[in-house]
Amino acid sequence: MPEPFAGLPSLNALRVFEVVSRHLNFRLAADELGVTQAAVAQQVRGLEAALAIRLFDRLPRGLGLTDAGRRYSTSVRDALAMLQEATRALRPQPASLTISVTPSFASKWLIPRLGAFTQAHPGVDLRVLATDQLSRFHTDGVDIAVRYGRPPFGPGIDAELLFEQRVIAVASPALLAAGGAPSDLDHLQGLALLHDAHNFWPGYLARLFGRAQAAKRNLRFNQTALAIEAALAGQGVALVTDLFVHEDLCSGRLVQVFDQALTVDKHFYLTWPRKGHPAQALAYLRQWLREQAALSSSFSIA
């Protein structure tokens, strides 16, 4: 019984032919394949000899496909695509998850910790969707989200407290060294107050000094991360979630201006649809986020 695929050229020769047929240039094909230009030319000559047909016209500048070469390149490309798909189907694909967070949460808390997650779970393909808009789980393809507020977050949505929010006033050491740490409201009025979209300053001043007097100088930002960057640049005093400035406080890039913290009734929650992603990868991500939140919450500011 004859071999079913007897007479076929080598797979390597067909792969080289497919690449050359796209570039119509031996040098560019060699660059893509990571071999020498002479090796590519040799494979093409060998394939033409084995088929007893000319596949390329050698032109003054580059190559051109003959009619036979053009028809053959289409068939070979389709056949290689089928082989690639069959091979891909045999291999387990990485579990894909999308987490939705705000840009400030992403830059100041999540991203610095992601290396530990990817190292522990290399089989999880994680996509971070950082947006100030409220992502919709099904429409936006979101598997899990970190949302700021109070539950419930909607029908069919499970919520679990990630960490409570504790708001503190921070500034750069250079700013305080120049004018001294503010001891009263009048002294604080000499510094610019850095606001984010949460506008915590009125409540904080009322708690600290018994009155929410308007500041003489204010800078307002739509994201907490921007207020933190302004504080790092010595532009004023920011009122931010303590966990977002953990590393900056530990390194001395920022210092806490007042011992008092403001506790609010809105916190950070893990949320996910009850009829969502069933994969084990989601359980891994939830557990990892819980562990990271517990580590962060154990940090205590004197």
Residue 17 pLDDT greater than 70, yes or no: yes
| Pick from 64-78, 137-151, 230-244: least confident | 137-151
Architecture of domain 95-165+266-297 in CATH?
3-Layer(aba) Sandwich (3.40)
Residue 183 pLDDT greater than 80, yes or no: no
β-bridge mates for residue 272, sequence order? 158
The alpha carbons of the chain give a radius of gyration, in whole angstroms, of: 31
pLDDT band of residue 297 (cuts 50, 70, 90) is confident
62-72: pLDDT as tens digits: 899 999 999 99
pTM for the complete prediction? 0.65
State the average pLDDT over residues 175-202. 82
How high is the mean pLDDT of the chain? 87
Residue 187 pLDDT greater than 90, yes or no: no
Cβ atoms of 169 and 242 closer than 8 Å: no
β-bridge mates for residue 98, sequence order? 127
Give the C-alpha separation, 118 to 274, whole Å.
Answer: 25
Spell out the domain ranges in the chain: 11-90, 95-165+266-297, 166-263
| Pick from 17-21, 121-125, 257-261: least confident | 121-125
pLDDT band of residue 184 (cuts 50, 70, 90) is low
pLDDT band of residue 111 (cuts 50, 70, 90) is very high
CATH of 11-90, one of 3.40.50.300, 3.40.80.10, 1.10.10.10, 3.40.250.10: 1.10.10.10
Residue 302 pLDDT greater than 50, yes or no: no
Reading the block at residue 20, the tokens are 């050359």
Reading the block at residue 128, the tokens are 């971070």
Reduce the DSSP state of residue 35 to 3 states and report it: coil
If one compares 277 and 52, the residue with the highest pLDDT of the two is 52
30-49: pLDDT as tens digits: 999 999 999 999 999 999 99
If one compares 20 and 152, the residue with the highest pLDDT of the two is 20
Residue 300 pLDDT greater than 60, yes or no: no
- pLDDT reported for residue 177: 86
Classify residue 253 as exposed, middle or buried by CB count within 10 Å of its CB (0-12, 13-18, 19+). middle
- The DSSP secondary-structure symbol of 138 reads T
State the average pLDDT over residues 287-292. 92
197-206: pLDDT as tens digits: 988 998 888 8
Distances (CA, A) of 122 to 111, 112, 176: 16, 17, 44
Architecture of domain 166-263 in CATH?
3-Layer(aba) Sandwich (3.40)
State the average pLDDT over residues 207-223. 81
Same fold yes or no, 95-165+266-297 and 166-263: yes
Give the C-alpha separation, 160 to 169, whole Å.
Answer: 27
Residue 301 pLDDT greater than 80, yes or no: no
